[in-house]
Amino acid sequence: MVANNSESLDFDDDLSEDNSPDLVLGQNQRITRIAHHANRAAQVGCTVLITGETGTGKEVWARMLQRLGPRRNEPFVPVNCAALSPSLAESQLFGHVEGAFTGAAGASLGVFRTAESGIVFLDEVGDMPLELQPKLLRVLQEREVTPVGSSQPIRFDAQIITATNRNLEHEVEKGRFREDLYYRLNLVELHMPSLRERPEDIPEFIAYFSEKFSREHQLPLWQPEPEVLKQFCEYRWPGNIRQLSFVIEQAYILQREPVLPNAPPVNTEEATTLPFTDLDRLRRIAVEQALCTSRGHRGRAAHLLGVHPNTLTRLMAKSC
């Protein structure tokens, strides 16, 4: 992230409820280029696709795009496409008229009209059901929606920002994502590098999170010794910035020194040969940290991990 002197990652309220712009931290050259492209896209108001691994800060950048552009004081409406109800997704996105289906006691604007003049943020767009994708494509092309139960299209004015941790080109090849929708979304792509690709920025993130959680929990500021800082910078951080924030917040909650998860650092080149036992241990640690951070609230823990609540339940069962 880029020092902005004046936001945070896909962290739910770990960061995205913190609205200070200098959550875009770091001096990595790739981040500097991303910030430049983000600024141009924000001024133009075009469709933007934000890609990257889970925990790299995609929602933070979406919110920063809003602040950089003319829609900064308008609504920001986030949607988790992976959590859309298959039976109600079209109504949730495009709205419905009264009586359109059983239970539709009143009309609904839907996401796009709710965000009028502002931003629609479609998170996990790679998980959008295939049958909805041509309808989203039409919305992007025509800039209008047709509520369920109506034949009258309604124009709307909102910038569309999408994000995914999937490789959409691969999804297109596998027939799971429409090629024409991919190109429509990919007018400007901002690819977030993983934390292991920007170790020089880790000290700045540590300082930020330490100050944040020290203030929240009214505890002394943690300032790591040089050797500890070196270990944190060398660690692979499979959960990226989100995992780093978990480790530091957990330490403040338990009132102890932050410690790395019990897994050896590995090089990026070694990632594909990491044993399954190590991956299982990393998953178990991530689940434990998310549950601790969410005070045992499974729904919030699932959102922090970027998974569906049912997936969290399965991960918890495997951890037993």
CATH number at residue 301: 1.10.8.60
pLDDT at 281: 58
pLDDT grade, residue 301 (50/70/90)?
Answer: confident
Edge-to-edge order in the sheet of strand 188-191: 76-80, 119-123, 159-164, 48-51, 188-191
Higher pLDDT, 99 or 85: 85
Do 133 and 241 belong to one domain?
Answer: no
pLDDT at 320: 54
pLDDT at 216: 93
Lowest mean pLDDT among 69-73, 91-95, 111-115, 301-305: 301-305
| Last residue within a domain, chosen from 191, 207, 236 | 191
Other CB atoms closer than 10 Å to residue 267's CB: what's the count? 9
pLDDT grade, residue 28 (50/70/90)?
Answer: confident
Please say if the pLDDT value at position 93 is more than 80.
yes
Q: What mean pLDDT comes out for the span 205-223? A: 93
Q: What percent of the chain has pLDDT over 90?
A: 59
pLDDT at 103: 72
Q: Residue 160 — φ and ψ, nearest 5°?
A: -105, 120
Do 117 and 208 belong to one domain?
Answer: no
Are the C-beta atoms of residues 193 and 153 closer than 8 Å to each other?
no
Do 244 and 180 belong to one domain?
Answer: no
Higher pLDDT, 35 or 24: 35
pLDDT at 30: 87
Do 89 and 218 belong to one domain?
Answer: no
Task: Determine the Cα–Cα distance for residues 68 and 185; give it in Å rounded to an integer.
Answer: 20
Please say if the pLDDT value at position 255 is more than 60.
yes
Comparing C-alpha atoms, which of 105, 107, 86, 88 is closest to residue 96? 107
Do 40 and 155 belong to one domain?
Answer: yes
Task: Determine the Cα–Cα distance for residues 132 and 147; give it in Å rounded to an integer.
Answer: 14
pLDDT at 17: 39
Instruction: Please give the structure tokens belonging to residue 240.
Output: 């990226």
Do 67 and 176 belong to one domain?
Answer: yes
Task: Determine the Cα–Cα distance for residues 165 and 124; give it in Å rounded to an integer.
Answer: 7
Please say if the pLDDT value at position 265 is more than 60.
no
Instruction: Please give the structure tokens belonging to residue 291.
Output: 């549950």
| 3 state DSSP class of 237 | coil
Do 66 and 165 belong to one domain?
Answer: yes
Lowest mean pLDDT among 54-68, 201-215, 252-266: 252-266
Q: What is the pLDDT of residues 109-147, one digit of tens each?
A: 999 999 999 999 999 999 999 999 999 999 999 999 999
Task: Determine the Cα–Cα distance for residues 233 and 235; give it in Å rounded to an integer.
Answer: 6
Q: Could you tell me the residue range of the domain that residue 164 belongs to?
A: 12-191
Q: Is residue 7 part of a domain?
A: no
Task: Determine the Cα–Cα distance for residues 232 and 226; give it in Å rounded to an integer.
Answer: 10
Q: How far apart are the first and last CA of the chain?
A: 37
* Count of domains for the chain: 2
Q: Is residue 3 part of a domain?
A: no
Do 172 and 97 belong to one domain?
Answer: yes
Do 267 and 141 belong to one domain?
Answer: no
CATH number at residue 185: 3.40.50.300
pLDDT at 8: 28
pLDDT grade, residue 32 (50/70/90)?
Answer: confident
Other CB atoms closer than 10 Å to residue 315's CB: what's the count? 19
| Last residue within a domain, chosen from 151, 169, 191 | 191
Do 207 and 305 belong to one domain?
Answer: yes
| Last residue within a domain, chosen from 191, 224, 257 | 191
Do 184 and 256 belong to one domain?
Answer: no
Please say if the pLDDT value at position 285 is more than 90.
no
